[in-house]
Structure 1
Amino acid sequence: MLVFLSFGTDAADIFLEWNVSLDWNIKPITIDQPVITINGMFPGPLINTTTNDVVHVNVFNNLDEPLLMTWNGIQQRLNSWQDGVSGTNCPIGPGKNWTYEFQVKDQIGSFFYFPSINFQRAAGGFGPLRVNNRNVILVPFPKPQEEFDLLIGDWNELPYKDTRKLVGGPSIQRARARYILINGKGSYNSSWGNGHESIQVEQGKLYRLRISNVGTELSFNFRIQSHEMVLVETEGSYTNQIVLDSLDVHVGQSYSVLFTANQQDSDYYIVATPTQINTPGLNDGVAVLHYANSNSQASGPLPPGPNSMDRNFSVNQAKSIRWNMTTGAARPNPQGTFNVTNVTISQNFVLHASEMMFNGTHNFTVNNVSYLTPSTPLKLADFLANGSGVYQPDIFPVDSILQEAVQGTFVASGIHKGWIEIIFKNDHSFMDSWHLDGFGFYVVGFGDGDWSPSSRSSYNLLDPVVRSTVQVYPDGWTAVYAFLDNPGMWNLRSQRLQNWYLGEEMYIRVFDPDNNTAKERPPPDNLLRCGLFSSSSTRVLVSMASLLFLAFNLVLQTNQELPLLFL
């Protein structure tokens, strides 16, 4: 059900009702495994909005376990209560429903949503989310004949619950991603899958593709046989328009490209192949671009892309993606009005991502600390008990690596309306990808090896692109700036599902002591309570948890090994 109620000319209310269920009949790779559908659809339905619209999504959880939905890249201005991650929301229990309400305020662009807990993203539940320009804001390219959403990502061979057990077991196993799906469908002319995706075009017309990597671990290179693409947007930013033969899209990222159907009437391959990985046996994702008057099937070899291990190509392409400084986006004033040429940095985080053993099991860490998800959302604890018993602020080492690996629930403070510099250092042997809810990153630099203050001389401070998810190359670093003007509790995480599920995340609390609801919204009327605040024994539990966190604080100060803290 979709209803629009006018708010003058500036915004609308959008009402959606979703039934989230498991379907065993879709078989994306012809193997019996459950797929998470929304209203029977895989991928889920498009949320099609315009800047400043208010979206209401009533989610009915028909799964046999708790569910949360998150809105990847939607900044939730002043309202982290609707973020849909474990640190901000209580989950929707099986057989229950809950209504999200969020505004796509001061945003445009291409995004997607997905389930954020219990490894459920590996089973689907994702879908496209568009934020269109208001009519009064000029779009910096001609209006396309049509727009298509391409949700592309790797897919595992095992049911998601089996994969969840494997990756969380005593001997870590990589999620067995061997296939790439395009809009939930298999590859053209393959022996596996439920058919292939086909996009119909008319000769001579201009089209827009909104491409998102909704997978769990693999980067892919995207290309269209015999057609050039023009990059125009990424995750809410209009970019300088560059012509591409192929585009690397890393986990969690979204792009918009334009192309003209300027070839003969025929069918052409649309291809997504794994990149920055040297593992044999991976299956490409192949769809079809179908010209309306075509009587010919796609044929010949797939269009070649860059060598899958050509890091220079990938990094150079990433550096070439720049902000369009002269166009408006959500606002009429040019994007370049908000530049970082002369900003003053208030905080510096240097975050090393790696993996460690805890009591015989593998976990992923940030600066040798693996995040332990409490039963009580941090935002709820912050509101009801000033965080007492669930977390303690400012004990996480934001710029150093602990000598001994520990687990814990930690929150770092971000200075409200301050500029933060974050260095993501990837100590893994594979690609990583990082995302910050609530904000956009100014992507100012990439580099190999260790980062040092002298690395700042290589930054691009003139026109760095702003996006919500950024890739980090193996044994390399990525530097970003962010302006922390959005009060709330915000998740900073690896977008690789296994890394995130096993502890490669943290939270940044951006606090404004002013209780003015114009600065941060109060909790919603339908606030769910769980964990420490779901029973009459709250005081006792809070006291016990506080003692545990005092012990954790002592461990961080002394660099001793900490036993697991299960809260």
Structure 2
Amino acid sequence: MIMIRKNRHQEMAVLSRGMWWLIWCMALSTAVVGEEIFLEWHVAINGDIKPVSHDQPVITINGIFPGPLINATTNDNVHINVYNDMDEPLLMTWNGIHQRLNSWQDGVSGTNCPIQPGTNWTYVFQMKDQIGSFFYFPSINFQRAGGGFGSIRVNNRIVINVPFPKPEQEFDLLIGDWYPQSFKDVRATGGLGYFTDWMLMNGKGPFLDPLSKAHESFTVSKGKTYRFRISNVGNLWSINFRIQNHKMLLVETEGSYTNQITLDSLDVHVGQSYSVLVTADQNPADYYMVATPKWVNLTEPNATATAVGVLHYENSTTAANGPLPNGPDPFDVDFSLNQARSIKWNLTAGAARPNSQGTFNVSNVTLSQTFVLRGSVGLIDSFPRYTINNVSYTTPSTPLKLADQFINGSGVYELDAFPVHSSLPALVTGTFVVSGTHKGWLEIVFRNDFDTVDSWHLDGFGFFVVGFGVGEWTPEERNTTYNLYDPVVRSTVQVYPGGWTAVYVYLDNPGMWNLRSQNLQHWYLGQELYIRVYDSDPNPAKERLPPDNLLFCAAPAEISARPLRYRRDGRDITDPAAISPLPIRPTTIPALAWNDGTGMAVSVPTRPRRPRSR
């Protein structure tokens, strides 16, 4: 054996390289694992915050409206202890966050019992393999119309390159139509007879409107570039957004880096989020930021229906002036269709992938299922109900996920009785769940019978948006109009009046997942269903077990009466008497409340999932 002796400087160089390698590996490990973020929220109804001069209660979080920013990084674990200081049940959902293997944290009526007044519950979820711009909101009881929403940023890990230079600053911009009445009053009629007369920017009314208590303003420096994360958090209206004399460079939407296209204005439909870069390249002054509604028939000119803010150049003394910048014809479908078709996936960007296989090109996938879903409206018992294929969803008192886990769904929902290919001849109500093939490719074709845009969202997944069209969809569209090579991936997609939108979804995320219209009135009055993606493997690495703080509601006696199997501290516990439940708290729910989880709520022990019997 030959030994080579290094001198002291060589040894130090080797040691230095080794230390730097160790530091890099530790940084990489930290970046991959993510950090723990702990938040405490107090959700309350506040009568002092009036976005406009109307005496209406607003839902605040920690006393502010909109709520606080969730600023996280890919793979961070977020713990949010939500205190319900309102006088009615509450659930929070995380629009666009996939909740990988963990639909227990999704925060909708089909997965969770509500947080009762005067109590608290902690959500724990991971920003698993995601980046991008999203938002959260209260998901039951029409509460989104009263506020309670806020922005979510999921930043890239340090080891991933972003496909654009780091901006000088980032701004979150939550825009949406707003009822001038209390959300409780609007809820009492399902929104019928009420109109969203206002448009707000970050909870503030239009610039210079005498009824606005304040307006939104962002300060920029000449020559610098800024990232605007724009979300439509409204109830009903699609919007078009633009900034006077400034171009916008589109770079991201709901977790997908897009091909970078320069825009004068941007359509943002209900529930959607985008990132644009704006360079302050004009003479120092103030400039209008404007959002106007689309496909809205206003009976008379209504300035309050236009959201107006200010882009303020640092040290400028020149006020915004001149007419508001014009947008496209609000009823021009061709403009909107062409813009939508131009938004594609950025194939050169290094970021979180749309699924675990990293697929961008979907031209060679084998479809396991096709759903053709038509949104429409009709009368049931002389009352308007919104439907999917003539079925209007009825929310059960027991959340579907709990029923699936503990009583095999018995008596709570009907599995695979929903007509996924065509509409029923007559309108019906019911609680329907459809099966999605685990690790299969699902094609969904959304049809829109309305004279305005509808938008659709699926929890737990991203849509590969492969096609838009007008008129009736036929299977031939797959060969003639679909974009299968670089479709953008997003969680909320628009469907134009009298048209169709086609998406592919890779169902690799087991759980019970909500598919809904993002139009709040449509959703509230029944335009939703649930997709059950089931993995028969009981390994908790495939789907997480119920959380230790799981809330039960509506039928705790029925569930606890069944022979269950529990695990605690790695041990099997077969005697339910060995588990001490928390006290039962009875709750009275308003008769007109929606998705209310009526009944009693109690935190009980959990057990591993068992297969659904058929």
Give the number of equivalent residue pairs: 532
Aligned-residue offset at 1:9: 3.4
Q: Distance in 1 between matches of 2:312 and 2:356?
A: 37
Distance 1:534 1:255, change over 3 A: farther
Aligned sequence identity (%): 66
TM-score by length of 2: 0.85
Q: Which moved more, 1:323-332 or 1:8-17?
A: 323-332
Equivalent of residue 52 in structure 2, options 9, 29, 37: 29
1:382 partnered with 2:404:
yes
Distance 1:480 1:337, change over 3 A: closer
Corresponding residue for 1:396? 418
Corresponding residue for 1:135? 158
Q: Distance in 1 between matches of 2:534 and 2:379?
A: 34
1:483-540 deviation line (CA, Å, top 9, x unaligned):
000000000000000000000000000000110000000000000000122578978x
Q: Distance in 2 between matches of 1:38 and 1:216?
A: 19
Indicate the SS of the match to 1:499.
helix
User: Contact between 2:66 and 2:147, CA under 8 Å: does it hold in 1?
Assistant: yes
1:407 partnered with 2:429:
yes
Equivalent of residue 221 in structure 1, options 240, 244, 269: 240
Corresponding residue for 2:352? 330
Indicate the SS of the match to 2:188.
helix
Give the letter aligned to residue 409 of structure 1.
Answer: T
1:81 partnered with 2:104:
yes
Aligned-residue offset at 1:7: 7.6
1:204 partnered with 2:223:
yes
User: Contact between 1:328 and 1:335, CA under 8 Å: does it hold in 2?
Assistant: no
Aligned-residue offset at 1:167: 2.2
User: Contact between 1:272 and 1:284, CA under 8 Å: does it hold in 2?
Assistant: yes
Equivalent of residue 437 in structure 1, options 455, 459, 478: 459
Equivalent of residue 364 in structure 1, options 376, 386, 389: 386
Corresponding residue for 1:520? 543
1:50-99 deviation line (CA, Å, top 9, x unaligned):
00000000000011100000000000000000000000000000011000
Aligned-residue offset at 1:333: 12
Indicate the SS of the match to 2:493.
strand
Corresponding residue for 1:489? 512
1:351 partnered with 2:351:
no
Q: Distance in 2 between matches of 1:340 and 1:430?
A: 30
1:102-142 deviation line (CA, Å, top 9, x unaligned):
00000000000000000000000000000000000000000
Indicate the SS of the match to 1:339.
coil
Indicate the SS of the match to 2:410.
coil
User: Contact between 2:355 and 2:506, CA under 8 Å: does it hold in 1?
Assistant: no
Corresponding residue for 2:136? 113
Structure 1, unmatched stretches of 5+, are 1-5, 540-565
Distance 1:536 1:143, change over 3 A: closer
Aligned-residue offset at 1:366: 0.4
1:249 partnered with 2:262:
no
Q: Which moved more, 1:326-335 or 1:442-451?
A: 326-335
Q: Distance in 2 between matches of 1:201 and 1:207?
A: 8
1:314 partnered with 2:336:
yes
Q: Distance in 1 between matches of 2:230 and 2:374?
A: 29
Q: Distance in 2 between matches of 1:64 and 1:278?
A: 35
TM-score by length of 1: 0.91
1:504 partnered with 2:527:
yes
Distance 1:470 1:294, change over 3 A: same
User: Contact between 2:243 and 2:288, CA under 8 Å: does it hold in 1?
Assistant: yes
Distance 1:334 1:370, change over 3 A: closer
Q: Distance in 2 between matches of 1:152 and 1:418?
A: 36
Distance 1:333 1:524, change over 3 A: closer
User: Contact between 2:354 and 2:489, CA under 8 Å: does it hold in 1?
Assistant: no
User: Contact between 1:158 and 1:176, CA under 8 Å: does it hold in 2?
Assistant: no
User: Contact between 1:90 and 1:530, CA under 8 Å: does it hold in 2?
Assistant: yes
User: Contact between 1:75 and 1:438, CA under 8 Å: does it hold in 2?
Assistant: yes
User: Contact between 1:442 and 1:482, CA under 8 Å: does it hold in 2?
Assistant: yes
Give the letter aligned to residue 40 of structure 1.
Answer: G
Q: Distance in 2 between matches of 1:537 and 1:383?
A: 12
Aligned-residue offset at 1:276: 2.4
Aligned-residue offset at 1:455: 2.0
Corresponding residue for 2:175? 152
Structure 2, unmatched stretches of 5+, are 1-27, 563-597, 600-614
Q: Which moved more, 1:276-285 or 1:263-272?
A: 276-285
User: Contact between 2:74 and 2:130, CA under 8 Å: does it hold in 1?
Assistant: yes
Indicate the SS of the match to 1:161.
helix
Q: Distance in 2 between matches of 1:158 and 1:333?
A: 42
Indicate the SS of the match to 1:166.
coil
Distance 1:246 1:336, change over 3 A: farther
Corresponding residue for 2:70? 47
Q: Distance in 1 between matches of 2:437 and 2:298?
A: 42
Corresponding residue for 2:115? 92
Task: Please identify the structure whose Cα radius of gyration is greater.
Answer: 2
Aligned-residue offset at 1:387: 0.7
Across the aligned residues of Structure 1 and Structure 2, the Cα RMSD in angstroms comes to 1.8
Aligned-residue offset at 1:356: 1.4
Distance 1:423 1:286, change over 3 A: same
Corresponding residue for 1:265? 284
1:161 partnered with 2:180:
no
